[in-house]
């Protein structure tokens, strides 16, 4: 029997398995995969993973990771056979609450995790919700599995829509900031390549400074802001442009959209 079965081997499912293999959390011979298209099936076999079909996946391993598109999950679980013992479920699917997944599969409790697209480069911070009733061994496996692709933030599932907004959509927001900084650099006269390299370097430097113990973001900002200096002039412009208010609006909009999609999923009407 495999140790882990993965339903859905797209961008995220394959990135998660790569991370776990690279860190030795599982061996390739311990993972089986449900994949649909030929390229994804080939990717799985090239990685040394066994293929499995639906519904055999339900008793192929003690833990089943659900990494399907939410609407595909809704379609493929209309007739779930009763499996004893039920596997431990881990869902990374957006839009489906743990309760809805459990109701659909006739089992539970369900661990929910929200990694980011940076899982593919081993740099995802994952929001993880482990409900009461999950066996200790299954909870520990989930912590190690997501820990293989970056830091894990354990959080009550009630906050998962906010986690989605900040941890997953936030990668998009940060990239939008990078684009804006590079665009501004070009408008300030820099050639495109230099503009992009300097913008990325600035953000990289800020994150490395925080991670490397230089201080909190607020402390590092204070360190680079001399009274009457260049950073102070730029920060005043950001403040005048209501930067904090705009970012708060973006997070609330993403959180509310995640909530809407979750409601749609539980009613089987989630949009594509």
31 phi, psi to nearest 5 deg: -120, 135
Q: What is the 3-state secondary structure (H, E, C) of 214-255?
A: CCCHHHHHHHHCCCCCHHHHHHHHHHHCCHHHHHHHHHHHHH
Whichever of 118 and 206 has its CB closer to ligand NAP, that residue is 118
Whichever of 138 and 163 has its CB closer to ligand NAP, that residue is 163
CB of 28 to ligand NAP, least distance (A): 18
CB of 72 to ligand NAP, least distance (A): 3
Q: Single out the residue of 120, 117, 145, 148 nearest to residue 130, CA to CA.
A: 145
Residues in touch with ligand NAP (CB under 6 A):
8-13, 34-37, 40, 67-70, 72, 76, 92-94, 114-117, 168
Residue number closest to ligand NAP, CB atom: 10
Burial class (CB in 10 A: 0-12, 13-18, 19+), 123: middle
Whichever of 81 and 191 has its CB closer to ligand NAP, that residue is 81
CB of 216 to ligand NAP, least distance (A): 27
| Three-state secondary-structure class, residue 114 | strand
Whichever of 2 and 34 has its CB closer to ligand NAP, that residue is 34
CB of 159 to ligand NAP, least distance (A): 15
Taking the alpha carbons of 124, 173, 127, 68 in that order, is the dihedral positive or negative? negative
């Amino acid at each position: 029997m495999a140790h882990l079965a993965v339903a859905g081997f797209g961008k995220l499912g394959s990135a998660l398995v790569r991370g776990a293999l690279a860190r030795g959390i599982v061996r390739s011979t311990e993972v089986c995969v449900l994949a649909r298209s030929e390229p994804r099936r080939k990717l799985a076999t090239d990685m040394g993973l066994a293929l499995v079909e639906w519904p055999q996946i339900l008793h192929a391993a003690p833990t089943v990771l659900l990494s399907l598109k939410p609407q595909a999950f809704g379609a493929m679980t209309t007739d779930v056979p009763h499996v004893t013992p039920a596997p431990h479920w881990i869902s990374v699917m957006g839009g489906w609450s743990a309760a809805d997944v459990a109701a659909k599969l006739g089992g539970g409790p369900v661990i929910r995790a929200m990694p980011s697209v940076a899982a593919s480069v081993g740099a995802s911070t994952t929001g993880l919700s482990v409900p009461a009733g999950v066996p200790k061994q299954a909870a520990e496996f989930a912590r190690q599995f997501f820990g293989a692709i970056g830091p894990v933030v354990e959080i009550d599932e009630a906050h998962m829509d906010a986690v989605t907004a900040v941890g997953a959509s936030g990668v998009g927001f940060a990239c939008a900031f990078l684009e804006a900084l590079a665009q501004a650099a070009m408008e300030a006269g820099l050639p495109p390549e230099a503009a992009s390299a300097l913008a990325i370097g600035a953000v990289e430097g800020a994150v490395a400074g925080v991670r490397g113990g230089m201080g909190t973001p607020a402390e590092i900002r204070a360190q680079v802001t001399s009274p009457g200096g260049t950073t102070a002039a730029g920060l005043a412009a950001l403040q005048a442009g209501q930067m904090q208010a705009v970012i708060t609006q973006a997070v609330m909009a993403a959180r509310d959209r995640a909530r809407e999609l979750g409601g749609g999923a539980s009613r089987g009407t989630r949009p594509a």
